[in-house]
Amino acid sequence: MSDTSLGQPRRPSFPLLDRLGELCTSGRDSAAYLWQVPNDMAVRAEISKKLVEIRAECEQQGRREMQRIVGELEIALAASPSPQQVEILQDGFDRLTKLWSAAKSGLL
């Protein structure tokens, strides 16, 4: 018998990644990498490109709150590299990923 037939709840599962989810997850990973190499300009350029793509996907899907966070991340990315900047980037991508996940699971 399966767990659900015994009245036990199913384990929550992470929604399947679409393009927006891939971009958010990849951006979060890139921001985490900056903790190790904060001045890596190639990774910073990659994050900038991902933010442009995330903004476009958000516009297509009507995700205004996510667009606001993207704007905050673009401002943070323009600042000089620092631990505070990396923390803002990582936190912002975490928020984007959580909002995406909530929207995909039907909570938003």
pLDDT tens figures, 4-57: 555 566 555 555 789 999 999 999 999 999 989 989 999 999 999 999 999 999
17-104, which class in CATH? mainly alpha
**pLDDT band, very low/low/confident/very high, at 103 (cuts 50, 70, 90):** confident
What whole-number distance in Å separates Cα of residue 77 and Cα of residue 66? 16
Where do the structural domains in the chain lie, given as residue ranges? 17-104
pLDDT digit string, tens, across residues 54-94: 999 999 989 999 999 999 999 999 999 999 999 999 999 99
Decide: residue 100, CB within 10 A, 0-12 exposed, 13-18 middle, 19+ buried. Answer: buried
CB 73 within 8 A of CB 92: yes
Instruction: Kindly report the number of other CB atoms within 10 A of residue 2's CB atom.
Output: 7
DSSP one-letter code for 22: H
- Quote the CA–CA distance of 73 and 82 in Å, as a whole number: 14
